[in-house]
Structure formats: structure tokens, C-alpha cells
Amino acid sequence: MYIYGKNVAEEAIKNNKKIQKAYIYEHFTDKNLISAIQKSEICINFCTKMELDKLVKGNHQGIILSVPDYKYCRLEDLLYDESPLLVILDHLEDPHNLGAIVRTCEAAGVNGIIIPKDRSVEVNSTVIKVSAGAIENMNICMVTNLNQTIKELKAKGFWIVGTDMKGENYTKIDYNGKTAIVIGNEGNGMSKLIEENCDFIATIPMKGKINSLNASVAAGIVIFEAMRQRTN
């Protein structure tokens, strides 16, 4: 797969990610980044802008890296702390939302993200680009059955906090201890089975005429409230 953009490339190199080849604009001006790639003994192919545009559709900023497909972790890999904070994404479809949530989770110190295998966006070039390199420091687990995974987490002592328009104020919920926050699908919210397995439903109060927020924005608000409580 291809990953692209300066921040993404810098994080990939800093984290010693396996890079198969680098495609760089022939008039690329970031000499430090070129030097770092050369020191890593990565094969470099200098290209025209047209050649780079054919490789990816997004804003590549003059640098594209060819890397192996993203490797998901196991559920057990997310449970390394005494009181982990996890984020569960209930069939999100927009790669921009997933990338933004990955960036938020990394900034807030979330232990990991859980996504379902079917009917959900996977980690792709767009997700990696939008995460601005944060994905290099974030564990993502892909599971076959999201509802069963939630039951497993509850058996391990996790509190499951769903997000919906009909619940209690998100600031009134206790996010200390083992906690998993569920963010629903962009159009339909959480599925009925997932909602039924939640211990709490968090709602973000709104005063405007629009009664819902973008999934990544809502996730950021609740995640940082959890971080605030857990660091006080």
C-alpha cells in the first residue's frame, strides 16, 4: 500500500517502519527528510508531479512511500494497562473520520481502537494521511464480531459507554477504571445490539438547530472528557 505526506513519512521513518520504496517529487525541498530516507537505505525514485498524482489521489505533498499492508493487533495487545481506555467504532464508513479519530486517540493517550471486520472502513492510505502519522503510535484491533468483543470486555471488568442523542450528559459519566467508549456509524449511530450492551449512554448537549455532530468531532469531545477525568 502507499502512504503519503510529510508528517506521515517522518513518523514512518522515526518508528522504523518497513518501507519498500520512496517516490519523491523531483523538486522536493525538504532536504532533511530526503537525508533521513537516504540514511535508512531506502530505494528512492525521483518523479514528476504527474507521476506522483497517478500513484495516489490525495495531497501527497511530494512524497509517497510504498509500505506493507497495515498490520492489526490482537485484542490482548490493547489491555496492557491496569485501567485501559479503549475506543470502539461501530461500523464507521468514512476514512477521514477514522483517521481523525486515530489522531485524537493518540493525542489523548487511548490504549487502542477496535473496529469490525465487515461493513466498516479499514486502515488505508487516506486514514493514514488524515491521522498525520499518529497511526504509527496507535494500536488498532479488527474483530469479527463487535458485539461478542464487547461482551468479552465486560467480562474483563470494562464499563461500556455508548454515545447517542438520548442519554445522560457526557460530563456526568465516570470514565475512570477500565472503560471503552463506543462511537456509532455516521448515519445510523450505534446498532441496537451494541446499544443494549452499553452500561451508560453519553450525550453531548447542543443548543443549535442541528441535533448531531460529525462522528470524529463527537468522539473527540467524549474522549478528552475521559482523559480530563483520568488525569485529575
Report how far residue 91's alpha carbon sits from residue 148's, in angstroms, rounded to the nearest whole number: 15
Domain of 156, CATH number, reads: 3.40.1280.10
- The predicted pLDDT at position 208 comes to 84
Please calculate the CA angle 71-76-78 and round it to the nearest 5 degrees: 75
Q: How many CB atoms lie within 10 A of CB 208?
A: 5
Domain of 8, CATH number, reads: 3.30.1330.30
- The predicted pLDDT at position 201 comes to 97
Residues 6+ apart with CB under 8 A from 78: 84, 86, 111, 112, 114, 139, 141
Asked whether the whole model's pTM tops 0.95, one would answer no
Provide, rounded to the nearest whole percent, the portion of the chain with pLDDT above 90.
70
Question: Under a CB-based contact definition with an 8 Å cutoff, are residues 170 and 227 in contact?
Answer: no
How many domains does the chain contain in total? 2
58 CB-contact burial (10 Å; exposed 0-12 / middle 13-18 / buried 19+):
middle
The domain of 9 spans 2-66
Instruction: Please give the average per-residue pLDDT across 50-66, as a whole number.
Output: 91
pLDDT in tens, 165-175: 889 999 999 99
Residues 54 and 81 in one domain: no
Residues 148 and 41 in one domain: no
Q: How many CB atoms lie within 10 A of CB 91?
A: 20
- The predicted pLDDT at position 113 comes to 97
Residues 57 and 85 in one domain: no
State residue 144 phi and psi, 5-degree precision.
Answer: -75, -40
The amino acid sitting at 6 is: K
pLDDT in tens, 175-226: 999 999 999 998 888 999 999 999 999 999 988 877 778 899 999 999 999 9
Collect contacts of 190-196 with beta carbons under 8 A, ≥24 apart.
Answer: 190/90, 190/162, 190/163, 190/164, 191/90, 191/91, 193/147, 194/90, 194/146, 194/147, 194/150, 194/162, 195/162, 195/164
Residues 25 and 94 in one domain: no
**Confidence check: pLDDT of 89 > 90:** yes
**Confidence check: pLDDT of 141 > 80:** yes
Report how far residue 140's alpha carbon sits from residue 127's, in angstroms, rounded to the nearest whole number: 12
pLDDT category of residue 136 using cuts at 50, 70 and 90: confident
